[in-house]
Amino acid sequence: MGDRDGDNRGDNPDGNNADLYPDDSSQWADSDGDGYGDNPSGTNGDRFPNDALQWEDTDGDGFGDNFVDEDGDGVSESGDVCPTLAGSSRGAPLSRGCPDSDADGYMDNVDAFPANPFQWNDTDGDGYGDNNAVSGGDSCVNEYGRA
């Protein structure tokens, strides 16, 4: 059958290492079957070749851009909540892939302490973080004041 696009992958669909894209020399495989080739720098490349629900990552932070709501609750189970801002937040489903200055997993705009990696929430608004397992934490998170 040959190799029309010259990528060294045969065009025979039943052959060994068959070329799924016989007319595109930049792509030849699609491991997850999402229609985007495994070569991320090729035509219609897949940044997530083993995840059929994701293929693009506009901001390059490792979180896919696609909003995927598998259970119908309106929250994306995978995908970047901030697709145009690079970030590493992972703390909550609604903050995945957003800027996180202190690297505690919670995005800066919902982190009550964006410069403190040990605190992220302040339930009673008293200025003391809810994580009482570290120094300076609030002993009574539902009462204003530290103790």
Encode pLDDT of 99-117 as tens digits. Answer: 999 999 899 988 999 999 9
pLDDT at 34: 92
Determine the Cα–Cα distance for residues 7 and 24; give it in Å rounded to an integer: 8
Q: What is the largest CA-CA distance in the chain?
A: 78
| Domain residue extents for the chain | 1-55
Rounded Cα–Cα distance for residues 41 and 50 (Å):
16
Q: In this predicted structure, which of 24-33, 51-60, 85-94, 135-144 has the lowest mean pLDDT?
A: 85-94
What is the mean pLDDT of the segment spanning 89-98?
76
Predicted confidence at residue 1, as pLDDT, reads: 67
Q: What percent of the chain has pLDDT over 90?
A: 35
What per-residue confidence (pLDDT) applies to 130?
A: 93
Looking at residue 147, its pLDDT comes to: 65
pLDDT tens string 67-85: 777 777 676 767 778 888 8
pLDDT band at 13 (very low <50, low <70, confident <90, very high): confident
pLDDT exceeds cutoff 80 at 32? yes
Residue 48: band (very low, low, confident or very high) from pLDDT cuts 50, 70, 90: very high
Q: Which residue has the higher pLDDT, 94 or 105?
A: 105
Return the C-alpha torsion angle 52, 55, 60, 63, nearest 10: -30
| H, E, C per residue of 30-96 | CCCCCCCECCCCCCCECCCCCCCCCCCCCCCCCCCCCCECCCCCCCCCECCCCCCCCCCCCCCHHHC
Residue type, 17: N
